[in-house]
Amino acid sequence: MHVYKLKAQVLFVLLLITTHTYCQVEDNEEHQNSLTKNSLSINTNLATWIIGIPSLGVSYRVSDRNELLLDASYSRWNFERKGRPRYWRSWNFSPQFRSYVNHDRNTYVGAQFSVGQYNISSQVGKYLGGGLIIGKQYQAGKSLLIDLGLTLGYLRFRDRASYTYHNTVFYKNRVKEDSNYWGPTSVSIKLSRKIN
């Protein structure tokens, strides 16, 4: 129950920050993407926060049309449900290269690499993969962007196993075969703030 309360508090704070920023934007003013060559930004993916996995990233504009991003997420939650311990542990690292394709420099295509590991109660495993990303950014203030993106690609799951809980101990009951996945690999709803 503690995890759900924490998630609600974090989402409330993010909502307040976003709402405050929107209130500062004048209704009739149009903003072109304010990120130019050598701009540095920090970002967080709200989509991962919603499922209890905090994220943080940094991006650097190599040129007016090209950008490098390093995103990471990490969670380590422990809680009880119906008298049984539960775990929500994971980490992910996703570097990305983007190229902005339109005049306003707010629509992009690119490539993303992903590597990570998870331990979600009775399921554990590792993954590695990558894909092509497409997305669009919306100006929400002088230095704040809302970034919506979708990655389609491949993930290789390995070292997978499932566990059963009995008498306060987790027992490995099945080792799963490595598997391949093709399809959506990442959804991003990011808040990105320019810091220089």
The pLDDT score that the predictor gives to residue 56 is: 97
For residue 9, CA distances in Å to 3, 89, 160, 178 come to 10, 20, 33, 37
Range of the domain at 131: 2-194
What CA dihedral angle connects 84, 85, 86 and 87, to 10 degrees? -160
The pLDDT score that the predictor gives to residue 53 is: 93
The pLDDT score that the predictor gives to residue 31 is: 44
The pLDDT score that the predictor gives to residue 160 is: 87
pLDDT in tens, 68-109: 999 999 999 888 877 778 788 999 999 999 999 998 888 999
Local mean pLDDT, 10-residue blocks, the chain (196 residues): 53 52 42 70 94 94 94 90 82 96 91 94 91 94 92 94 77 84 94 92
Closest CA to 57 of 36, 46, 41: 41
The pLDDT score that the predictor gives to residue 2 is: 52
Q: For the beta carbon of residue 53, count every other beta carbon within 10 angstroms.
A: 21
Q: What is the CATH number of the domain that holds 138?
A: 2.40.160
Domain count, the chain: 1
